[in-house]
Amino acid sequence: MAHRESTLILLTNTYPLSRGEEFLENEIDHVGRAFDQVVIIPIQAGPADVQTRAIPSNAQVMHIARSSPRGLDRALAAVKGLVRLPPSGVDWAATRRQPRLLVSDAHFEGRAQTALNGILAKLPSLRLTPESHVTIYSFWLHITARTATLLADQLRAQGVTVDRVISRAHGYDLYPSVSPRHHIPERRLLLQSLNGICPVSEQGTQELQTTWPQFAEKIHTRYLGTSDPQQPAHCRRTPFTIISCAHLVPIKRMTRMPAILARVRATGIDARWTHLGDGPQMDTLRQEVAVHGVTDAVTLLGHVDNAQVMATQRDLKPSVFVNLSSSEGLPVSMMEVASLGIPIIATGVGGVGEIVSSRNGHVLPAEFTDAQASDAFVQLARLPEDEYQQVCQASRQVWEEKFRASVVYPEFCREVLGGR
């Protein structure tokens, strides 16, 4: 039987240009091995964005260079989106209660249509034919997914075989509660149009299946994964070293750590905190460090290149990793520290409970108090050494069972995307 050439079209926000979507760096090589040709289309990348990450030799980037419309141009784009907006894509009951939701839907559709037009302008360069077999993979259940379904319609109209259209779902694209006006545009239309939806956590799958039971059969959890660091961290508790890695924005709640650290130190534990990551709240965080008198116990490293994050964390010989987010999907940062065998203390939001439990750390309430957080650190610091080492080993075991990249990505490419 003759080999049919397989093409995967991967729609992202900006990857592999600029920064962001670092999780794809663990996945892309597996995708490259599963398909003959991979075309990556970062639909929200700007004209000045350049490629910053390596991709497989059989992959190419289609840079459609989206510009951000302002003023009248933005209004016109919304009008065009409204004209193209399928009635089946509108939640009319919600729109009657909040008419402004229709504006959100129009902007959403307009951005997807603009991305589609950019792709169609460059589509001839791919030289797809009626003999071509294409899989379209959207990394987000949002504008990239709507663009994916529109592109599939266009390709099929040209006689190209589109075998399937698949989307992952993470956090902002999954939970209406963290979206503006608690609304995600065109949700029903996307779920109806896609062949498969893959939330990255069981909690996300339950959310979608419960809200949209009519589409439950096409919604299945597929975890992201991280590479084996080979060398685990040498965790120690003298001093008791807390580490974290997050963009400093309100949703991450890192500005609460100085107060929590001060409470832990007040118990007589020599606790230190090192944070990896910068962001708009860096100045506020520095002020909190000073206010709570923990300047000598805090190290703020700022931005650390993604390729160096795990090595930096390992070199710190940490006692525990902390995540205080008010909203999460299934954090890749936690997968990485679990692979290093580091205990984790985190808020029980999103899919966090699928990584963290009493086996390998402590799950805090979503709306925790400083006392609850500090008590969790103190409890870990005072465990007998043999029990503490068991907690470290359990973190590594959780990663091996669920999040090993060399297992989860080949399975995803073969079983979901239809690659080899």
Residues 396 and 410 grouped into a single domain: no
Q: Shortest CA distance to 331 belongs to which of 314, 318, 345? A: 345
Residues 66 and 139 grouped into a single domain: yes
The span from the CA of 301 to the CA of 330, in Å, is 24
Six-digit token pair at 160?
A: 């190209």
For residue 326, count other CB atoms closer than 10 A to its CB: 15
> 408, 201 in Cβ contact below 8 A?
no
For residue 307, count other CB atoms closer than 10 A to its CB: 10
For residue 353, count other CB atoms closer than 10 A to its CB: 16
The span from the CA of 106 to the CA of 358, in Å, is 45
Looking at the domain assignment, is residue 233 inside a domain? no
For the chain, how many structural domains are there in total? 2
Looking at the domain assignment, is residue 213 inside a domain? yes
Six-digit token pair at 96?
A: 């009657």
Residues 244 and 382 grouped into a single domain: yes
β-partners of residue 321 are 243, 344
Residues 312 and 394 grouped into a single domain: yes
| CA angle in degrees (0–180, nearest 5) for 198-201-204 | 75
Residues 395 and 410 grouped into a single domain: no
Q: Would you give per-residue pLDDT tens digits along the chain (420 residues)?
A: 455 789 999 999 999 998 889 889 999 999 999 999 999 999 999 889 999 999 999 999 999 976 666 666 666 766 777 777 787 777 777 777 777 778 788 888 989 999 999 999 999 998 898 888 999 999 999 999 999 999 999 999 999 999 999 999 998 898 887 777 788 899 999 999 999 999 999 989 999 999 999 999 999 999 999 999 989 999 999 999 999 999 999 999 999 999 999 999 999 999 999 999 999 999 999 999 999 999 999 999 999 988 899 999 999 999 999 999 998 878 888 999 999 999 999 999 988 999 999 999 999 999 999 999 999 999 999 999 999 999 999 999 999 999 999 999 999 999 999 999
Q: What is the per-residue pLDDT for 390?
A: 97
Residues 129 and 101 grouped into a single domain: yes
DSSP characters over 238-258: TTEEEEEE---SGGG-GGGHH
Question: Under DSSP, is residue 172 helix (H, G, I), strand (E, B) or coil?
Answer: coil
Please list, in sequence order, all residues whose beta carbon lies within 8 angstroms of the beta carbon of residue 72, skipping any fewer than 6 positions away: none
Residues 46 and 154 grouped into a single domain: yes
Residue reference for tokens 């670092």: 22
Residues 206 and 264 grouped into a single domain: no
Residue reference for tokens 């003298």: 238
Looking at the domain assignment, is residue 201 inside a domain? yes
CATH number for the domain that contains residue 15: 3.40.50.2000
pTM: 0.85
* Structural domain harbouring 297: 240-402
Q: Shortest CA distance to 38 belongs to which of 389, 416, 413? A: 413
Residues 342 and 207 grouped into a single domain: no
Q: Shortest CA distance to 279 belongs to which of 248, 245, 311? A: 248
Looking at the domain assignment, is residue 294 inside a domain? yes
Q: Shortest CA distance to 30 belongs to which of 5, 58, 11, 53? A: 58
**Residue ranges with strand state E in 227-343:** 240-245, 271-276, 298-302, 320-323
> 41, 60 in Cβ contact below 8 A?
no
Q: What is the per-residue pLDDT for 1?
A: 45
Residues 219 and 359 grouped into a single domain: no
The span from the CA of 164 to the CA of 41, in Å, is 17
Looking at the domain assignment, is residue 327 inside a domain? yes
Residues 215 and 297 grouped into a single domain: no
Q: What is the per-residue pLDDT for 79?
A: 73
For residue 283, count other CB atoms closer than 10 A to its CB: 9
Q: 114: burial class by Cβ within 10 Å (0-12, 13-18, 19+)?
A: buried
Residues 164 and 281 grouped into a single domain: no
Looking at the domain assignment, is residue 234 inside a domain? no
| CA angle in degrees (0–180, nearest 5) for 86-92-95 | 110
Q: How many CA atoms lie within 13 A of 363 on its CB side?
A: 13
| CA angle in degrees (0–180, nearest 5) for 357-359-361 | 60
Preceding peptide of 239 cis, ω within 30°: yes
Q: What is the DSSP letter of 3?
A: P
> 46, 65 in Cβ contact below 8 A?
yes
Looking at the domain assignment, is residue 1 inside a domain? no
Looking at the domain assignment, is residue 235 inside a domain? no
